[in-house]
Amino acid sequence: MVGSFIPKNKKEALDLKAKYTELIPYSGGTDLMVENRKNPSYLFLGKLNELKGIKKTDGKIEIGAETTFTEALESPIIPQMMKDALILIAAPAIRNTGTFAGNIGNGSAKADSALIEYGLDAVITVESVRGERNIPIEDFYLGRKHIDLNEDEIITKITIPDIHPDFYSYEKVGGRKALAISRIAFLGILEMESDKIKSISVSFGAVSEKIIRYKDVEKMLIGLTKEEAKAKKDEFVKAYEDRMQLTEGRVSADYRKKVTIKLLKEFLKNGGI
């Protein structure tokens, strides 16, 4: 046990993490502090302004790792689909301290901001004294409690595209209306270019060890008009039915499958497909 530290800037934080790799980085502590660890040593990142804030650059939105959900909800830059997810996270007290890095720091497929990051092809920046790495979220998320983060690295930034989709649908199914951890979460995004489908993104959260997104299946509809896509709709939905291996959780795998497919069909129908 080396004790805990409150670095004043990013350089100091990275130096400390390089020297004492056992330090556990954190900010909000809303996940961490309910764990029962023996003699932990912490690296508190909540005072680092370099890891906070939201800015727009070159068609992209950069979210500092230690930005809280409340700060994001108050930002005019954050896309509405992300806000739809954030406003359903816990209650105001948790949203005031819970952060973006903390939400993805456990690799949980139930993390509500992570689903939106999957759907938007977010890139996660991690840094150490050795330099920085930029990792697509689907490669960063390796499984429950397992992320692509070396022992001397910390998460510093999350980058999402500044897109304005023609249609999107976000749904969170929980045990109750408020203060619920996702049992099933869905995000569908549709972008058109003149009358053709430019991109379609379909992601499912909380139904498996990892968030599910099949980019090869999405390709089936890209470049088609909505009328042409309607003709392929059954084949498209069946590809998900055949491929998705859902895990048993607080609800059965069967129930999860039924609801996920229903959410997918509703998204396609409401999107005009």
Task: Give residues in contact with ligand FAD (CB under 6 A).
Answer: 24-32, 34, 45, 65, 89-90, 94, 97-99, 101-103, 105-106, 111-112, 154-155, 181
Of 107 and 188, the one with the shorter C-beta distance to ligand FAD is: 107
CA distances from 222 to 142, 162, 242 (A): 27, 20, 20
The C-alpha atoms of residue 47 and residue 64 are separated, in whole angstroms, by 12
Burial label for 82, CB within 10 Å (0-12, 13-18, 19+), is buried
State the minimum distance, in angstroms, from the CB of residue 126 to ligand FAD.
7
State the minimum distance, in angstroms, from the CB of residue 103 to ligand FAD.
3
The C-alpha atoms of residue 219 and residue 56 are separated, in whole angstroms, by 29
Alpha-carbon Rg of the chain, whole angstroms? 19
Cα distance between the two ends of the chain: 58
Of 95 and 256, the one with the shorter C-beta distance to ligand FAD is: 95
Of 111 and 173, the one with the shorter C-beta distance to ligand FAD is: 111
The number of angstroms, rounded, from the C-alpha of 214 to the middle of its chain's C-alpha atoms is 16
State the minimum distance, in angstroms, from the CB of residue 65 to ligand FAD.
4
State the minimum distance, in angstroms, from the CB of residue 1 to ligand FAD.
16
Of 98 and 271, the one with the shorter C-beta distance to ligand FAD is: 98
Please tell me what DSSP assigns to residue 36: -
The number of angstroms, rounded, from the C-alpha of 95 to the middle of its chain's C-alpha atoms is 15
State the minimum distance, in angstroms, from the CB of residue 135 to ligand FAD.
12
Q: Which residues contact 34 (CB under 8 A, 6 or more apart)?
A: none
Of 126 and 200, the one with the shorter C-beta distance to ligand FAD is: 126
Of 89 and 244, the one with the shorter C-beta distance to ligand FAD is: 89
Return the residue matching tokens 């379609």.
200
8 A C-beta contact, residue 17 and residue 152:
yes
State the minimum distance, in angstroms, from the CB of residue 16 to ligand FAD.
13
The C-alpha atoms of residue 136 and residue 180 are separated, in whole angstroms, by 28
State the minimum distance, in angstroms, from the CB of residue 237 to ligand FAD.
27
Of 127 and 218, the one with the shorter C-beta distance to ligand FAD is: 127
